[in-house]
Structure 1
Amino acid sequence: MLLRRTLAAVLTAGTLFLASACAGDNLASDDAADPTESSAAADKGSVTVAGQNFPEATLVASMYQQLLENGGYTVETKLVDSRDAYMPTFPDSVDIVPEYVGGIVNFLNSQENGGDASPFEAGDGEALAADGADLLDAAGITLLDVSPATDTNAFFVTKEYSEAEGVTALSDLEGKSVTLAAAPDCEGRLDCEGGLSDEYGIDITQVLPLGYASDQTYQSVISGEAELGETSTTDGTLDSQGLVVLEDDLQIQPAQNLVPAVGTDFLAEHADIADILNPLMAALTTEKLTELNGRIAVDREKPEDVATDFLTEAGLL
């Protein structure tokens, strides 16, 4: 998801979640103690999870934390405002990060080859992970299983506009003049105005820097000030606002499949981490992630509660 977050430079620390898995020894008298008995899971030590502090990332980080605690780990989760804030400490003092394939690969690419380096653009998560293998190896980071769930930049119109103009995919806007409400750094970017203009042939007459999936961007499109707005593919608020995402049929967005990023050395010492987190990746889909995001953004449910419900229903807890 997101080059927007990849390039962010905000270093403010966000919410800090602390939780521990209790797996202590039986402190009863010696004659009552049974060495074959244990708590719900053996104490496997501590693990530090870091991630970004926006609703979807908070949700997925909570899923990681609950699964790891259930697996016997004591978990400290640190959520911060941007990828730039935790990557300098990963994997030295951070063990696991809920990531997006395109986000972490292109972050490492820009760190290694400079901010002007051509981004990795594969539309498939597995292919993009393979393309970035050398960068990941050099950084001491291993990606676990890539989830089918993906969250990329997306562009929306009102349902009324879609029906009236016969627009369901971005290619349907070829040759049309539109105003775009988007993130402030959208202009010129391949995954935003640049790609819409150059790849799709859309005449972007103006970019209104109103924010990524912000209330101002929604209202700009709803009011007719802009025809097109920028959000994410897992935005759970669109339907309730009468908005609809257009298909990225030329796939200008780099793959942003969810994936656990783990310190390679840490994984070598704790191989069961893959067994704990890979089933979650298999269980998540883009549709399910969108539904869960809607419960947080629209229904105002707590991310940790939504995470518990999903993990329980999926048979992972």
Structure 2
Amino acid sequence: MKKLIRGAAVGLVAALTLSACGGGDSGDDNPLAGGGESGTITVGGANFPESNLLGEIYAQALEAKGIKVSRKFNIGAREVYYDQVVKGGISVMPEYNGALLTTSVDENSKAATTEEINAELKAKLPAAVEILDSAEAEDKDSVTVNPQTAAKYDLKSIADLKPVAGELIIAGPSEFETRQHGLKGLKEVYGLEFKKFQPFDAGAQSTLVKLLTENKIQAADLFTTDPTIQQNKLVVLEDPKNVFSAQNVTPLVYKKAVNDTARAALNAVSAKLTTQDLLDMMKRIAIDKDDQEKVAKDWLTKSGLL
């Protein structure tokens, strides 16, 4: 799914920062690596708000069980943080199961459903890590167009783009250009060739949406829990051929760093978290500008987990 770093320089800085925090090769020898102190669980977050919100929810849920937590948010792309989890530099990482599978584990996988994806992850992940229970909550990549483009070409499905894609500019994170859950998959599965791809950094989301509403770009990779979709009456195109597979929120953990108490706390979060919860919380963060710590605490309290 999802949500990734947009520049080599930023990625290098993030990687170096993690190495300095105990995310190097020594992680395999230290069952509690990454926290800086024995017994500390390090919870990570990628470089986009929803990932950091989920990380904060995990962190507070763990702390509620008396577990000491270190937070490492705004790390960067999966290409940066995944190896850190495998090496033990990060103990717990909020993930999206479909994107994890095809980006870091098996880029040729054709698994589409939650059950298929999780079965492949459990079989193919490195021995040092595992996924815990997936939430019902899901946040997918999407091809989203502005209302004028949808009306002009009568667009309802990604398949409808085939005769007109050559006239359209599509934008998204830089990784969208080469990923199977991106332009690569759209070309292979739907035969789409766009006029131009315009990459955007993670911090430029508001600019991307502004250009989309102004029709300076006509399509974009937006995540389906982005509250600006509804706010701006944007149109998420249906994906009948499942280029964008299931993307359930799923904790990825370094096995040696999480005990049964931690696993139970994280699975309890997954048991409660819905897509509507994500939409509601992301509205509070993106539109209302609430602090993620408060948003996380409010949800955990409402869900009976604090």
**TM-score range relative to shorter protein:** 0.7 to 0.9
Specify the alignment match of 2:13 in structure 1.
12
- Letter of the 1:71 counterpart: K
Residue 227 and residue 308 in structure 1: after superposition, are their counterparts in 2 closer, same or farther (change >3 A)? same
**Equivalent in 181, 189, 194 of residue 184 of structure 2:** 194
**Equivalent in 59, 77, 82 of residue 82 of structure 1:** 77
Specify the alignment match of 1:287 in structure 2.
276
- Letter of the 1:289 counterpart: L
Deviations 1:4-40 (A, max 9, x none): 5599770434999xxxxxxxxxxxxxxxxxxxxxxxx
Specify the alignment match of 2:230 in structure 1.
239
Give the secondary-structure state (helix, strand or coil) at the position aligned to 1:77. Answer: strand
Question: Which fold has the larger relative contact order, with Cα–Cα distance below 8 Å and residues 6 or more apart in sequence?
Answer: 2
- Letter of the 2:294 counterpart: D
Shift of 1:169: 2.4
Higher mean C-alpha deviation, range 5-14 or range 72-81: 5-14
**Equivalent in 161, 166, 181 of residue 173 of structure 1:** 161
Structure 2 residue 100 is matched with structure 1 residue 104: yes
Residue 179 and residue 86 in structure 1: after superposition, are their counterparts in 2 closer, same or farther (change >3 A)? closer
Give the secondary-structure state (helix, strand or coil) at the position aligned to 1:208. Answer: strand
Higher mean C-alpha deviation, range 238-247 or range 143-152: 238-247
Specify the alignment match of 1:134 in structure 2.
123
Shift of 1:141: 0.8
Residue 182 and residue 266 in structure 1: after superposition, are their counterparts in 2 closer, same or farther (change >3 A)? closer
- TM-score (norm: length of structure 1): 0.77
Higher mean C-alpha deviation, range 6-15 or range 237-246: 6-15
Higher mean C-alpha deviation, range 211-220 or range 62-71: 211-220
Q: How large is the RMSD of aligned CA atoms in angstroms?
A: 3.0
- TM-score (norm: length of structure 2): 0.80
CA distance in 2, matches of 1:227, 1:92: 42
Structure 2 residue 204 is matched with structure 1 residue 204: no
Q: Note the residue ranges of structure 1 that are not aligned, 5 or more in a row.
A: 17-43, 110-116
Give the secondary-structure state (helix, strand or coil) at the position aligned to 2:43. Answer: strand
CA distance in 1, matches of 2:253, 2:174: 32
Indicate if the aligned counterparts of 2:131 and 2:250 stay in contact, CA closer than 8 A: yes
Specify the alignment match of 2:136 in structure 1.
148
Structure 2 residue 266 is matched with structure 1 residue 277: yes
Give the secondary-structure state (helix, strand or coil) at the position aligned to 1:120. Answer: coil
Specify the alignment match of 2:304 in structure 1.
315
Structure 2 residue 214 is matched with structure 1 residue 220: no
Shift of 1:210: 4.0
Residue 260 and residue 201 in structure 1: after superposition, are their counterparts in 2 closer, same or farther (change >3 A)? same
CA distance in 2, matches of 1:7, 1:243: 27
Indicate if the aligned counterparts of 1:12 and 1:85 stay in contact, CA closer than 8 A: no
Specify the alignment match of 2:285 in structure 1.
296
**Bigger CA radius of gyration:** 1
Give the secondary-structure state (helix, strand or coil) at the position aligned to 1:232. Answer: coil
Residue 309 and residue 108 in structure 1: after superposition, are their counterparts in 2 closer, same or farther (change >3 A)? same
Higher mean C-alpha deviation, range 172-181 or range 52-61: 172-181
Indicate if the aligned counterparts of 1:140 and 1:265 stay in contact, CA closer than 8 A: yes
**Equivalent in 141, 146, 159 of residue 158 of structure 1:** 146
CA distance in 2, matches of 1:139, 1:62: 26
Q: Note the residue ranges of structure 2 that are not aligned, 5 or more in a row.
A: 19-37
Give the secondary-structure state (helix, strand or coil) at the position aligned to 1:142. Answer: strand
- Letter of the 1:306 counterpart: V
CA distance in 1, matches of 2:240, 2:5: 23
Indicate if the aligned counterparts of 1:47 and 1:76 stay in contact, CA closer than 8 A: yes
Residue 204 and residue 282 in structure 1: after superposition, are their counterparts in 2 closer, same or farther (change >3 A)? same
Give the secondary-structure state (helix, strand or coil) at the position aligned to 1:53. Answer: coil
Shift of 1:305: 0.8
Identity of paired residues, percent? 30
